[in-house]
């Protein structure tokens, strides 16, 4: 029989909600419990597939706020694996290193947590007599600015060797630098499979040997969009490796853009939204789909959509409720009113003001610099990891500032437009 295992990482159990738009209590409860559901699903998969082991490549927990209740839940799930005769191999990631309960909890005897230096552990002896060894190195501190590869033993001769490492590799957008190393460094080390963790997006970096970042099994907000899962790995006597991605997440976050160009009536916008929601829901099989809608294009309703954004949210939320497990988390209004072909300012006062704002005020260097200074000051009041999410570099900060100014000015002008229409009536 081959050696089969499930490779996962970055569960971030019971991590706090990070999306300020999750105002729906039922939706918030769903997202709050999704990381636990992901672990339960992973354990169910291990048992159903009768694998030999579960490998967790770091960040089971989500930092210093981890409670003993979280740890007890984890221990209960690992006990299910123990009772099924399935071993668990764990390395601590940067978030685990911040948790006080990580070292206090007694885990089942089938669980091996690697420490600061790698010591090969025999995971299985194959029918041919060839042994499978798992190597791993845990984070002792929340930061690991240097490569951890020197802490690994060389591969055991005439055996199958699997390495576990929590690393940013050579760097990844949106992720801090941890235990840096290159794919070439890992390839040269001589292991048959590298089970990585830390970067939340799945990527197979190499197939000879396999170097796999499985991504997180459950997204937590719109910045962790897309289907999430784990990797099922099979290694035979000859060291041939086969991998398979398996979906796990209870909820999938997605962005959906709806072009409302030409929509002349409120009902038209709702119909376009309903068709787009239905189409995407049929394409995604996850139990729950959480959407951020962006309405784009040109429509004479642009000002009204902004003015009555709360009503629009309610109506589209009601439409999504008619689709199984579909939720609208937030609506971004990026649509605009149509302009005359010669693009000259309209004689209507509010439309003239809108033209001036868009073409003279917002593009002005002094205005952009003032907004950027305000944004930079506000960023200093956010936790470091949230700063990275909001604005990872200078270009993303400028894009954030421009989008905010465009949307903010559009909202104000929409209300002015509405007031002018009422006054004119």
Q: Give pLDDT, residue 425.
A: 41
| CATH level 2 (architecture), domain 3-247 | 4-Layer Sandwich (3.60)
pTM above 0.85, yes or no: no
Produce one character per residue of 41-80: b if its CB has 16 or more CB atoms within 10 Å, e if not. bbbebbeeeebbbbbbbbbbbbbeebeeebbebbbebbee
Question: Tokens 């845990």 sit at which residue?
Answer: 138
- pLDDT for res 389: 61
What pLDDT, on a 0 to 100 scale, did the predictor assign at position 55? 98
Q: How would you write the pLDDT of the chain (425 residues) with one tens digit per residue? A: 899 999 999 999 988 766 655 567 888 888 889 999 999 999 999 999 999 999 999 888 876 555 788 888 999 999 999 999 999 999 988 655 545 555 567 889 999 999 877 789 999 999 889 999 999 998 766 666 688 888 999 999 999 999 999 998 876 555 566 778 899 999 999 999 999 999 999 999 999 999 999 999 999 888 899 999 999 999 998 889 999 999 998 999 999 999 999 999 999 999 999 999 999 999 999 999 999 999 999 999 998 998 899 999 999 999 999 999 999 999 999 998 887 554 554 555 655 565 566 655 666 666 667 777 777 777 776 665 556 666 666 666 677 766 766 666 665 655 555 555 555 44
What is residue 240's predicted lDDT score, i.e. its pLDDT? Answer: 94
- The answer to whether the beta carbons of residues 299 and 261 sit under 8 Å apart is yes
The distance between the two most distant Cα atoms of the chain, rounded to a whole number of Å, is 88
Q: What is the pLDDT of residue 258?
A: 98
Using an 8 Å Cβ cutoff, are 9 and 134 in contact?
no
Which sequence spans correspond to the domains of the chain?
3-247, 252-423
303 near 418, Cβ under 8 Å?
A: yes
Residue 422 neighbours by CB distance under 10 Å: 8
């Amino acid at each position: 029989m081959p050696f089969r295992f499930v490779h996962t990482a970055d569960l971030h159990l019971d991590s706090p909600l990070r999306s300020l738009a999750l105002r729906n209590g039922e939706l918030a409860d769903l997202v709050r419990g999704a990381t636990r559901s992901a672990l339960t699903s992973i354990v169910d998969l291990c048992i159903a597939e009768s694998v030999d082991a579960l490998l967790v490549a770091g960040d089971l927990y989500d930092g210093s706020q981890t409670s003993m209740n979280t740890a007890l839940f984890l221990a209960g799930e690992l006990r299910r694996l123990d009772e099924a005769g399935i071993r668990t191999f764990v390395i601590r990631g940067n978030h685990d290193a911040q948790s006080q309960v990580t070292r206090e909890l007694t885990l089942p005897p089938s669980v091996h947590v690697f420490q600061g230096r790698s010591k090969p552990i025999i995971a299985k002896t194959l029918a041919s007599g060839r042994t499978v060894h798992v190597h791993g190195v845990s984070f002792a501190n929340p930061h690991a600015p240097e490569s951890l590869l020197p802490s690994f033993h060389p591969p055991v001769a005439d055996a199958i060797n699997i390495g576990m490492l929590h690393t940013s590799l050579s760097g990844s957008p949106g992720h801090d630098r941890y235990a840096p190393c290159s794919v070439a460094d890992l390839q040269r080390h001589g292991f048959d499979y590298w089970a990585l963790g830390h970067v939340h997006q799945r990527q197979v970096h190499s197939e000879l040997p396999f170097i796999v970042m499985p991504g997180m099994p459950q997204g937590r907000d719109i910045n962790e969009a897309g289907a999430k899962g784990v990797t099922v790995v099979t290694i035979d006597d000859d060291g041939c490796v086969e991998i398979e991605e398996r979906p796990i997440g209870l909820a999938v976050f997605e962005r959906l853009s709806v072009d409302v160009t030409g929509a002349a009536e409120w009902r038209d916008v709702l119909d376009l939204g309903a068709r787009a929601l239905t189409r995407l829901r049929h394409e995604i099989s996850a139990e729950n789909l959480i959407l951020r809608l962006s309405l784009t294009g040109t429509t004479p309703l642009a000002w009204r959509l902004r003015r009555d954004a709360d009503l629009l949210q309610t109506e589209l939320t009601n439409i999504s409720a008619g689709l199984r497990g579909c939720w609208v988390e937030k609506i971004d209004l990026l649509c605009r009113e149509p302009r005359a072909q010669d693009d000259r300012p309209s004689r209507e006062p509010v439309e003239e003001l809108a033209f001036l704002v868009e073409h003279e005020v917002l593009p002005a260097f002094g205005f952009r610099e003032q907004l950027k200074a305000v944004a930079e000051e506000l960023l200093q009041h956010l936790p470091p990891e949230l700063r990275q999410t909001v604005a990872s570099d200078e270009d993303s900060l400028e894009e954030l500032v421009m989008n905010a100014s465009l949307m903010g000015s559009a909202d104000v002008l929409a209300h002015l437009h509405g007031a002018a229409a009422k006054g004119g009536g």
